[in-house]
């Protein structure tokens, strides 16, 4: 599994949901429903066509300003572009992304809890 970052004593790995890929699927669906080409969307959103392509293929993650431009250009809500993605805050565990099962509202069964942040107790 590819390592994203390392914190002292805590190693984090890829989240169970590929946020970039899911966003890309949502973006492509919204663009097609709006009957726009990547070129047309790029002009409306003041973005380069290759950026639209990279976002749709999950090769990059949209910044907040890009999300605002895309939702305005497509006439959709941010929820439409973020559908199927959620965050578990973790409580005493490290938070993680999870799939938001749109049909049942249940979290993704494949999501696993991260390591505990609670200090280790000595016996």
Query: What CATH number is given to the structural domain containing 36?
Result: 1.10.260.40
As a whole number of Å, the end-to-end CA separation of the chain is 33
pTM over 0.85: no
Is there a single domain that holds both residue 53 and residue 101? no
Confidence at residue 16, expressed as pLDDT on a 0 to 100 scale: 60
Residue 69 has pLDDT above 80, yes or no: yes
Residue 12 lies in a domain: no
CA 88 to chain centre: 13
- Are 59 and 37 in a shared domain? yes
The answer to whether residue 30 sits within a structural domain is yes
Residue 44, CA distances (Å) to 10, 59, 68, 75, 110 in order: 43, 21, 12, 11, 38
């Amino acid at each position: 599994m590819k390592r994203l970052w390392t914190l002292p004593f805590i190693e984090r790995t890829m989240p169970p949901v590929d946020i970039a890929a899911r966003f890309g699927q949502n973006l492509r669906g919204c663009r097609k429903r709006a009957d726009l080409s990547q070129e047309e969307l790029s002009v409306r959103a003041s973005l380069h066509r290759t950026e639209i392509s990279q976002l749709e293929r999950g090769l990059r993650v949209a910044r907040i300003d890009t999300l605002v431009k895309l939702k305005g250009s497509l006439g959709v809500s941010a929820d439409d572009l973020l559908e199927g993605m959620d965050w578990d805050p973790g409580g005493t565990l490290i938070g993680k992304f999870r799939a938001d099962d749109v049909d049942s509202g249940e979290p993704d069964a494949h999501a696993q809890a991260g390591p505990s942040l609670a200090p280790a107790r000595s016996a």
